[in-house]
A and B are shown apart, each in its own frame.
Chain A
Amino acid sequence: MFDDVGSVMTKVLKFGLWLILGISIIGSLVGYLMAGMSGVFGALAGGSAVLIFTGMTALSILIGSKLPLAGFVGAVLGGWLIKMVLFLIMFTLLDKASWLTLEARPIVFFTIVASVIGGLILDTRIVSKARFPVVTGKP
């Protein structure tokens, strides 16, 4: 009947996975037409990068909501810090990858942008439809 942090974040993770999978498939098709197999790999790499990036935030809040306030802050901000370092390493490796041709590079960028914008629309919709009780505790 009513939602809590756990149910909202589970919904976000579930629908977000499907959305990014769909965008990655469309990106792969466009990538294949534009740059061959390199475009397909580029779209998949971009999609998985966004999935990890946005999924880690939702997961950190899901874990943090079960902890006391200090633990919650530590989980969210610590998760963000780890994520940024992981991303720096990931993008550096992707930037130097020999299989990513010059034609396939825009595919990575546009898959990331489309997944991020699509994910934000989905998140806003799920949160705006969620029903939270204002009063907690037993009646």
Chain B
Amino acid sequence: MHLETVAAAAVGMTGSLGNVGYGLAAIGAGIGIGLVVSKTIESIARQPELASRLQVTMWIGIAFTEALALIALATPFIFGK
């Protein structure tokens, strides 16, 4: 696609930039949580007797990963308007 065509399309763009921000915030946390869960499944498959400990450790990993997404979702309240 030519640069002029892209520029012409961008000029006609409408909508909220917040939606783009929401998408970006969800990408990072989505990848992070996917990795945490997949590694936990691997570990439980290797050592099922540690499932209880691994599930709780996984939960701490998820809590830290999604904290960034939650803060990113709240940023329009301070940077918006």
Q: Which A residues form the contact surface with B (CB < 8 A)?
A: 4-5, 8-9, 46, 49-50, 53-54, 57-58, 61, 64-65, 69, 72-73, 76-77, 80, 84, 87-88, 91, 94-95, 102, 105-106, 108-110, 112-113, 116-117, 119-120, 123-124, 127, 130, 132, 134-137
Q: Are B62 and A76 in contact (CB under 8 A)?
A: yes
Q: How far is the CB of B56 from chain A (nearest CB, A)?
A: 5
Residues of A within 8 A of B81 (CB): 102, 105
Whole-angstrom distance between the Cβ of B23 and the nearest chain A Cβ: 10
**Residues of chain B having any CB pair with chain A under 8 Å:** 18, 22, 26, 33-34, 37, 41, 44-45, 49-50, 52-53, 55-60, 62-64, 66-67, 69-71, 73-78, 80-81
Interchain CB contact under 8 A, B66 and A53: yes
User: Do A77 and B78 touch across chains, with their CB atoms under 8 A apart?
Assistant: no
Given contacts A76-B62, A84-B26, A88-B22, contact A116 B52 (CB under 8 A): no
Complex alpha-carbon distance, A71 and B22, angstroms: 28
Q: A5-B56, A76-B62, A132-B52 are in contact. Are A91 and B80 (CB under 8 A)?
A: no
The CA of A112 and the CA of B55, in the complex, are separated in Å by 26
Complex Cα gap A4–B62 (Å): 18
Question: Which chain B residue lies CB-closest to A105?
Answer: B77
The residues of B that contact A53 with a CB separation of less than 8 Å are 66, 70
Asked if B63 and A120 make an inter-chain contact with CB atoms under 8 angstroms apart, the answer reads yes
User: What residues of A have a CB within 8 angstroms of the CB of B59 in the complex?
Assistant: 9, 57-58, 61, 123, 127
**Is A113 touching B60 in the complex (CB atoms < 8 A)?**
no
14 A-B pairs with C-beta separation under 8 A: A5-B55, A61-B55, A80-B66, A91-B76, A94-B77, A108-B74, A109-B74, A112-B70, A120-B63, A123-B59, A127-B56, A127-B59, A136-B49, A136-B52
